[in-house]
Amino acid sequence: MNQNSKHAGNVLLIRGATLWLLVALILAWCLVFLKADISLLKMIFPGKFIRVLQAHLDFLIMSALLFGFYAAKVTLPWHVRWAMVVGAFTNSSLFLMQALFPVLDGPIPAEGFFPAAFRVFLMISIVITTYGFGRGAVIIFLSTFERSSSD
């Protein structure tokens, strides 16, 4: 397996994972304050409570994925690392945007520049996230077939 010691060049993954974990923790406190009916938080998040919860959970899941890829210690190309970290943030932030801007949350998105920009952001986020984690998974999977002296 193509493993390196220390960071295997993937320090960006651990940095992204820790940042997104901190965002998840902040969102956890926001959820507590929303349930406590703190009016300031209700003004910040006028959308559905469930969207804040989804953002919180998605940031946790993406952090866990980044931690896992980092722990594999298989060197990943820079573009894959960046796609993973950026995709982990943008993908999770989609729920957050729906909580912040309820106009974005509906079966039929509202017309206008902002909802249209949201749809473009959503599609770009899905592509970046899929590329990063998909390519990373293939690289790590293939690395398990390489012969090493410890096999």
pLDDT digits (tens, 9 = 90+) for 126-137: 999 999 999 999
Residues 6+ apart with CB under 8 A from 7: 14, 70
**Model pLDDT, residue 149:** 53
Token readout for 93 is 């932030």
In the numeric block, the tokens 């949201």 are attached to: 118
Q: Is 59 exposed, middle or buried (0-12, 13-18, 19+ CB in 10 A)?
A: buried
**Is residue 1 included in any domain, yes or no?**
no
Higher pLDDT among residues 146 and 59, named by residue: 59
Beta bridge partners of residue 87, listed in sequence order? none
pLDDT 10s digits, 82-122: 999 999 999 999 999 999 999 888 776 667 777 888 889 99
How many structural domains comprise the chain?
1
How far does the chain reach from its first CA to its final CA, in angstroms?
Answer: 9
Phi/psi at 3 (5° precision): -110, 145
**Is residue 51 included in any domain, yes or no?**
yes
Domain that residue 118 falls in: 11-143
**Is residue 46 included in any domain, yes or no?**
yes
**Is residue 95 included in any domain, yes or no?**
yes
Rounded CA gap, 20 and 112, in Å? 30
**Is residue 36 included in any domain, yes or no?**
yes
pLDDT 10s digits, 31-74: 999 999 999 999 999 999 999 999 999 999 999 999 999 999 99
**Is residue 150 included in any domain, yes or no?**
no
**Is residue 151 included in any domain, yes or no?**
no
